[in-house]
Structure 1
Amino acid sequence: MKGLKKKRRLLALVMGLLLIFCTVPVFAENQSNKIPDTVNAEEVSAETVPGETSGTESNRDGTDEILNTEGGPENGSGNGKTADTGAVSDAEVTPEKEAATEGITEQDVPEAENVGAGNPVAVHLSRGAALEAAPEHQKYIKKNAEDEYTLTLNVKGMYDSETTKPKIDVLLIVDQSGSMKYRMDKDKEPSHGEQSRMDVLKQVVTKEGGLTDSIFENAQIDAQMAVVTYSGIQDGGAYNDAKLLQKWTDEQATVNSAVNSIKADGGTNCEAGLRTGAEALEDSRENAKKFVIFLSDGDAGYYYDKNGYTTGKGSGSSDTAREHAIAQVRKITGLEGFYTIGMTSSSSSEFLTNLANSSNASEKGFYQANDTEALKEAFRKIAEKITEFTCRNVMITDKLSEYVKIPGGTLTNHYTVTATKDGEVTDITGQDTITVTLSEDGKTVTATFKDGFVLDKDTTYAVNFDVVPTQKAYDDYANLEGTYPDTGSADSDAPGNESSSGKPGFYSNESATLTYTFGKTGEGTPHTVAYVEQPVVQVSAMQIPVTKVWKGVPEGVEKPAVTVSLYQDAAATPYKTLQLTEGNQWKGTFTYVAKGHTYTVKEEALEGYESAVSGDTTNGFTVTNSRKPSLTVAKEVTGTMGDKTKKFEITITLKDAKNAPLTGTYAYSQTVNGTTQTGKREVTNGTITVKLGHKDTFTLRQLPVGTTYQVVENRESAQGYQVQYQDAADGTLQNSDQTVTVINHLGTVPITGISGMGSGWTMGILMLSVFAAAALIFGIVVRRKHGRRQ
């Protein structure tokens, strides 16, 4: 019984030990493959990939390669497999094994999980390099004459300025799968003296005239390159099928060294190369144009599952692996160009074409390279697209500012188009190369190059058109009294012109842009950049002199200061004013008078004076102040028989300068018997009547210049008197006062020819004289009769 118990205990112990031995390896394997749930797959960077080492790396051929040493390629996201990490040895995956799996279908390879698009790295690259990479272009102005200018906007078909070099970052993603050990023409390793696909790749990339030469030796660009390699192996590590072999550098030798160090091994995980490439692009220059060259000699076989582990069949074709690669390339935005190269006929042109077309890049394409020469040609064409910035589909647009306009509102006879090459200028106006139009509102000039026309790399094309200031420019300049709000920018003068750069003025343009597409062919993406130069125009203004002239002002009479106003167009309020005084010699000048208007000059009313304006804006104006004249009528009675107490009635007739009866109220003064009274008298229908005695006067003041007058004493009032008019009884009032004295004369004997009789007693004497004469005549007659009788 005891023996049976011992046997049972021994059996239980053996079974326990067996259970432990079976359980520990499974537990260990599960623990080694586990990634913490809190780690996002996209957060696994080149520096944190599991299994990466910073010192030595065990190559798949069993040798150790020293990385991260001076002059050597940098380790990135890395294949990073060492002997103690459980990595698959060189014997486990060989080119032969890869080739042997090409006939295996997708269903033949068990997958841990179909994860669809996986966990691609999203990269949103900056496109801020458009201005710096734009073709050379300039806007400038030339002053032809006062208020006449020519604006020029040009574009040059090449880079020749250090300041305009475009920044170009090129990422080379290289397939380093085991099949790259094969010959170009066969899926077979090369014999002695033959080259492998990898050998050909290295030669075409690094040798003289190769890809790196085309990029780094181009003096017209500022280039950097980085290199990513990818393959594929199911060894338990996460995201470790690709590595950044060479980080971004502008050293050609460093890139060549990295490419020459690539060794072929493993399967094909295209997603891995694109994913690590996306990570590398995040460190590219923000203001550089980014290009990716993706090379493969096969098809997508491996891909990453949702945890980053390599899965799939490794070689041949896998729809899921293709989907993962395409999903990854779609997550990269902002690329200027994405190009795929199918190296040899073993590559899948279908997949690589779809991969290129799935990119969001502006330029994209697939190149088949079945032999060395075809590979050279593929790289040459890609390098040309990357480094050649010849432009096509060019359009220049210039929106004029509110301060300039096209003369007459039409481009006819007011524009030219020129092409300058080697200093020789050719007028190509009217040719179909460039069409120049003006918008309906007359504000936008557009020069459109014909569709597909490619700018000659050595030629500068320019559209030149005339502009003149607008009315607003003249008005604002006058209102600002000769100052300007703007300053011309640097390089805004035409050669030999000095009216804009650093000079005050009005900006000639509201905005100006250049639109273009890089490359000679292909779809391309139009780029639009601004012309940074801001030319200015200056305008001229008028100066209008004014002179004051006085007329009819008696000597010693002080002349008052006067205000003269300039009126613009039909405005009711003055545009500018001047005060003229004896101190400024009765002269002044209206300054900063805006052109483009009509002007009149008026003087503020000055009592006792009449103002007349003559002249024009070209020669200036003269304002004449004529003192309004007075008309005085004085009465004199003479002769021993004249009655100096009598009031004689006198009528004054007045007409204006146009011979119309004068009507209105005028100031007057009247002296009667030595007493003077003043006031206002009404002139009605051109007449006014006054009664004056000896030594009386009547003065009508401030009559209009040019007034005609007539002074007549009434016949009945002057009866018995001889009437005389000292000075003219009629005339015209001009620049001085006029006095007319009416003299009534009556002596002891009536004077024949008098126009009227005097007082009553004078009439009596006359009647007695008549009676006496009649009696004398009667007596004579009687005597004669009496004598006859006797």
Structure 2
Amino acid sequence: MKGLKKKRRLLALVMGLLLIFCTVPVFAENQSNKIPDTVNAEEVSAETVPGETSGTESNRDGTDEILNTEGGPENGSGNGKTADTGAVSDAEVTPEKEAATEGITEQDVPEAENVGAGNPVAVHLSRGAASEAAPEHQKYIKKNAEDDYTLTLNVKGMYDSETTIPKIDVLLIVDKSGSMDRNMTTTGGKTSRMDVLKQVVTKEGGLTDSILGNTQIDAQMAVVTYSGSRYDGAYNDADLLQEWTNQKDTVNNVVKNIAADGGTNCEAGLRTGAEALEKSRTDAKKFVIFLSDGEPTYYYANGTTDKKYPWSLPYEAGTTLGSGSGLDQTAWERAILQVQKITGLEGFYTIGMTNDSNPTFLTELKGASDATKTGYYGANDTDELEKAFQNIVGEITEFICRNVTITDKLSEYVKIPGGTLTNHYTVTATKDGKVTDITGQDTITVTLSEDGKTVTATFKDGFVLDKDTTYAVNFDVVPTQKAYDDYANLEGEYPDTGSADSDAPGNESSSGKPGFYSNESATLTYTFGKTGEGTPQTVAYVEKPVVQVSAMQIPVTKVWKGVPEGVEKPAVTVSLYQDAAATPYKTLQLTEGNQWKGTFTYVAKGHTYTVKEEALEGYESAVSGNTTNGFTVTNSRKPSLTVAKEVTGTMGDKTKKFEITITLKDAKNAPLTGTYAYSQTVNGTTQTGKQEVTNGTITVELGHKDTFTLHQLPVGTTYQVEEKPESAQEYEVEYKADDNGTLQEGDQTVTVINHLDTVPITGISGMGSGWTMGILMLSVFAAAALIFGIVVRRKHGRRQ
């Protein structure tokens, strides 16, 4: 009996362990599908819709699948999102919109390089003419003359209804999850989201009509729907509901019969969409419109790393996995990865139906595409959905252009002559080689910004570019002062090189040539289509024309005056001064070796210039000429004035000092005043020093063979040499060389000669003036005595 009890206890223990082992996985799986605690009671009790209940739904395999409620996390209700209206860019997603659902933050959003390894369909489409979507445009320059240019920016019309039309393939990917049967708005309306979508897509003037009914394009459409269920087999969450067709009614009928059901497997819709794109026309531009009213809750197993438990075998590839009841980060990542595997699209657009959608996810989804054009649009009601489709259609369906604006911002090296466009611009339209001047018409208005740096050509609102017509705005530019200055400072070098195709026809001054860039930036803005909202597109003009500038060359010649033969002329430095600056702009050295000639090169235009010579002792410098003909610098040697004394005649007193007055005036006839070097020779001995000249007069005493010299007097000084009369009594005074004159070139010597041969009465000569007076007095005395004797003798004789 004890053995039997022992066996029973052992059996019970084994059965208990087996029961625990089997229960744990089931509990764990049920916990993974549990509705989050954040769902409010009133949300759970909200009105349910077909395919989405607040309880459980019996599935084909007999198990219960927890489905989403209207307030459930799949669509982000109760998470604090605000209603999203209109199209937004990445920068316009607000923090409230980024707080998409509980359990994921901005930091949780996966980076592209970190997305999980899914099993996406890789599609590499040929864009064909996609890169040519922007209208043909070019910027170029024409050199008219030195420092005179014309810049041209043009744009060429692309398509019209009478010429070859582009091929367009548009894929519509529609969310058909159960929540699409909920109300479109929260304002009391009872129309479901699915019904609004069907109406906007299929009505006259709706999406299909705008695309397949447009005669300006050769269009096809295909339709893919997606939802999500864990029990519908591999890769079965999306369907290619309509293959490529150009029949509008066929597409409309398919769209009208879409039924909402299940969860949200965005990866599935994109994956099936990729397969559809593989069957699109190779020569057509491809566009995708992806629509969702929630956020990704399901994804496909990749068949390798996706496992139920770490020790389990991988799920079969294509098996639907995910939370099913709220945002699933892996589902987010797999959708992003799938979009990245589709390359070569012309356009990829996402639309969020109502504020239950996740704008952060949809914005990142469109950002992950390499399409030439992308956009995200929020649509919280019927009008906003219509507007979203209109904007997208404006970019997809029509490639003719309207609302064109050309903007050109000039560089710091060019400007409009006179700062005004008046008489300095033209507008032309060229077709089939015929050029028509349309300047002044209201077709294109050309303006210049207040700072004179931006030229804007604005086409009339609604004006459509005509097919194969090139519209051009042409305006004159000239170099700025900075261009002249920089060119001179760089000694004729340029910092830039003109880009390819930047020359006007027949012009060869820019492409591959050095110069200064004429433009800082230039853009072309346009909107595709004749009508409709459309999204303005802006592209840059890639050409970068350059301008060259000229510089002045100013020759300088040195002339010497008054330099005696054999006297060596020193090297001199001549400086060019710009705008009366205190420091030289450029310098030259003139020597006998360069024949006293030189040239200032690379002199910037637009300034005034003067030439000065460094002071050279003993010389005066005079500058003549101008920047056009060059300058002449004349060095005149400062002259000296020498006064010499000579005494001649047999009676001349060669020991006597004679007083001589020298009167000096400057070139303006004003008395000369100053201190000058002098040298004086007396009795054969020379002495030097400084002589003060006061009020233009100086007096010296000179004897026979004495000299007195004033050195380095100003050129043009007038002089007067005069011996004082009282000093020259009895002498004949003669001036060898003029006793007055002007000192110009060379030195001047005036010799004052005093001549005395005989005494007028006695005939005695060779004696001083004292002797002369004595003899005269003695003679007078003798004569008086003689007369007295005669008188006495006569009186005596009478008495006798």
Secondary structure of 2:727's aligned partner: coil
Alignment of 1:480-491 (within 5 A): 480-491=490-501
Asked whether the equivalents of residues 225 and 241 of structure 2 are also in contact (C-alpha less than 8 Å), the reply is: no
Q: What secondary structure is seen at the aligned counterpart in 2 of 1:612?
A: strand
TM-score, scaled to structure 2: 0.64
Matches of 1:579 and 1:498, distance apart in 2: 39
Question: Quick one: distance in 2 between partners of 1:227 and 1:87?
Answer: 33
> Quick check: 1:611 aligned with 2:624?
no
**Secondary structure class of the residue paired with 1:170:** strand
Cα separation, 1, equivalents of 2:761 and 2:598: 63
TM-superposed deviation, 1:236: 3.7
- Are 1:332 and 2:328 matched, yes or no? no
Corresponding residue to 1:113 among 69, 77, 83: 69
Correspondence 1:409-420 to 2 at 5 A = 409-420=419-430
TM-aligned CA distance change 1:594 to 1:280, over 3 Å: farther
Distance 2:158 2:239 in 1: 37
**351 and 291 in structure 1: CA distance in 2 versus 1, 3 angstrom threshold:** farther
Distance in 2 separating the partners of 1:339 and 1:679: 98
Are the structure 2 counterparts of residues 574 and 636 from structure 1 closer, same or farther at C-alpha, using a change threshold of 3 Å?
Answer: same
Alignment partners' CA distance in 1, 2:352 and 2:648 = 138
Pick closer, same or farther for the CA change 1:750–1:730 going to 2, 3 Å: farther
Cα deviation, residue 676, structure 1: 0.6
Q: Check whether the contact 1:173–1:277 (CA below 8 A) recurs between aligned residues.
A: yes
Query: Whole-Å Cα distance in 2 between the matches of residues 309 and 240 of structure 1?
Result: 19
Q: Does 1:357 align with 2:386?
A: yes
Are 1:231 and 1:265, in contact at CA under 8 Å, matched by a contact in 2? no
Give the corresponding residue for 2:116: none
Query: Given the alignment of the two structures, is residue 153 of structure 1 paired with residue 182 of structure 2, yes or no?
Result: no
Q: CA deviation at 1:749?
A: 2.3
The DSSP-based 3-state class of the residue aligned with 2:74 is: coil
- For residue 155 of structure 1, what is the amino acid of its counterpart? V
Contact 1:488-1:500 at 8 Å conserved across structures: yes
The answer to whether the 8 A contact 1:337-1:363 is kept is no
State which of 229, 241, 244 in structure 1 corresponds to 2:224.
229
1:301-312 equivalence runs, <5 A: 307-308=323-324
8 Å contact from structure 1 (residues 399, 509) kept in 2? yes
Residues 294 and 339 in structure 1, CA contact (< 8 A), matched pair in contact too: no
Q: 1:12 — aligned with what?
A: none
AA in 1 matched with 2:144: N
CA pair 323-169 structure 1, distance change in 2 beyond 3 A? closer
Match of 1:269 in 2: 260
Work out whether residues 293 and 339 of structure 1, in 8 Å CA contact, stay in contact via their aligned partners in 2: no
Once the 2 structures are TM-superposed, how far is the Cα of residue 570 of structure 1 from its aligned partner? Answer: 1.2
For the residue of structure 2 that corresponds to 1:473, the secondary structure is: helix
Letter in structure 1 aligned against 2:136: E
The structural deviation recorded for 1:266 is 8.6
Q: Distance in 2 between matches of 1:37 and 1:175?
A: 22
CA apart distance, 1:291 = 3.3
How far is the alpha carbon of 1:388 from its aligned partner? 2.6
**Equivalent residue, structure 2, for 1:144:** 144
CA distance in 2, matches of 1:751, 1:620: 71
Aligned ranges for residues 573-652 of structure 1 at < 5 Å? 573-652=583-662
SS in structure 2 of the partner of residue 716 of structure 1: helix
Conserved 8 A contact 2:677-2:689: yes
1:352 Cα shift?
Answer: 10
Query: 1:202-259 CA distances to partner (integer Å, 9 max, x unpaired)?
Result: xxx99xx9799987x79xxxxxx99553388989438944236899xxxx99x99xx9
> Normalized against structure 1, the TM-score is what?
0.65
Residues 784 and 158 of structure 1, relative CA distance in 2, 3 Å threshold:
farther
Residues 413-462 of structure 1: CA deviation (Å, up to 9, x unaligned) = 11111111111111111111111111111111111112121211221111
Map 1:678-757; keep pairs closer than 5 Å. 678-750=688-760
Which residue is 1:548 aligned to? 558
Report whether the alignment pairs 1:659 with 2:655.
no
The code of the aligned residue for 1:614 comes to: S
- Of the three residues 239, 243, 251, the one matched with 1:243 is 239
Q: Is the 8 A contact 2:72 2:325 kept in 1?
A: no
Compute the displacement of 1:403 (Å): 0.8
Partner of 1:502: 512
State the Cα distance separating 1:292 from its structure 2 match.
Answer: 3.8
How many angstroms does 1:646 deviate by? 0.9
Letter in 2 for 1:471: Q
**In 2, Cα distance between the equivalents of 1:686 and 1:641?**
35
C-alpha distance in 2, partners of 1:420/1:784? 145
Other-structure match for 2:40: none
Give the distance between the partners of 1:557 and 1:386, measured in 2 at CA.
91
Post-superposition offset of 1:624: 0.7
Output the CA distance in 1 between the equivalents of 2:386 and 2:255.
Answer: 27
Whole-angstrom distance in 2 between the partners of 1:264 and 1:455: 36
Question: Structure 2: how far apart are the matches of 1:152 and 1:781?
Answer: 131
In 2: Cα distance, 1:749 partner to 1:634 partner: 25
> Could you tell me whether the CA contact under 8 Å between 2:225 and 2:240 is conserved in 1?
no
Q: CA deviation at 1:126?
A: 9.9
Q: What whole-Å deviation, never above 9, does each CA across 1:700-743 have from its counterpart, x for those lacking one?
A: 11111111000011112112211111111111111011111111
Amino acid at match of 1:113: T
Give 1:281 shift: 7.3
1:757-776 alignment to 2 at 5 Å? Answer: 759-769=769-779
Q: How does 1:305-454 map to 2 (within 5 A)?
A: 307-308=323-324, 327=356, 332-333=362-363, 334=366, 353=382, 356-357=385-386, 359=388, 363-364=391-392, 386-454=396-464
What secondary structure does 2:775 align onto? helix
Matches within 5 A, 1:82-97: none
- Give the equivalent residue in structure 2 for 1:171: 171
> In the alignment, does 2:532 pair up with 1:518?
no
TM-superposed deviation, 1:667? 1.0
1:332 aligns to what SS in structure 2?
helix
* Count of aligned positions: 604
Q: How far, CA to CA, are the matches of 1:751 and 1:705 in structure 2?
A: 49
**Identical aligned residues as a percent:** 74
The answer to whether the Cα contact below 8 Å between 1:487 and 1:504 also exists between their aligned partners in 2 is yes
Letter in 2 for 1:141: I
Distance 1:787 1:465, change over 3 A: farther
Which residue type is aligned with residue 118 of structure 1?
Answer: E
Q: Which residue identity lines up with residue 521 of structure 1 in the other structure?
A: T
In 2, Cα distance between equivalents of 1:169 and 1:787:
176
In 2: Cα distance, 1:698 partner to 1:667 partner: 11
Q: String of CA shifts for 1:250-283, please: whole Å, max 9, x gaps.
A: xx99x99xx99x9999961388697744566799
Q: Note the residue ranges of structure 1 that are not aligned, 5 or more in a row.
A: 1-26, 41-84, 89-109, 178-199, 219-224, 311-321, 341-349, 365-381
- For residue 695 of structure 2, what is the amino acid of its counterpart? N
Aligned CA RMSD, in angstroms, stands at 5.3
Render the CA deviation track for 1:380-399: whole Å, top value 9, x for unaligned.
xx6x9625311111111111
Question: Are 2:499 and 2:510, in contact at CA under 8 Å, matched by a contact in 1?
Answer: yes
The reply to whether residue 133 of structure 1 matches residue 133 of structure 2 is yes
Distance 1:737 1:706, change over 3 A: same
Please give the alpha-carbon distance, in whole angstroms, between the structure 2 residues aligned to 1:536 and 1:265: 60
CA distance in 2, matches of 1:767, 1:386: 141
Superposition deviation, residue 550 in structure 1:
0.7
**Is the 1:629–1:701 Cα contact (8 Å) retained in structure 2?**
yes
Superimposed CA distance per residue, residues 335-371 of structure 1 (whole angstroms, 9 cap, x where no aligned partner): 958999xxxxxxxxx9995683385x7714xxxxxxx
Query: Given that residues 420 and 448 in structure 2 are in contact (C-alpha distance below 8 angstroms), is that contact kept between their aligned partners in structure 1?
Result: yes
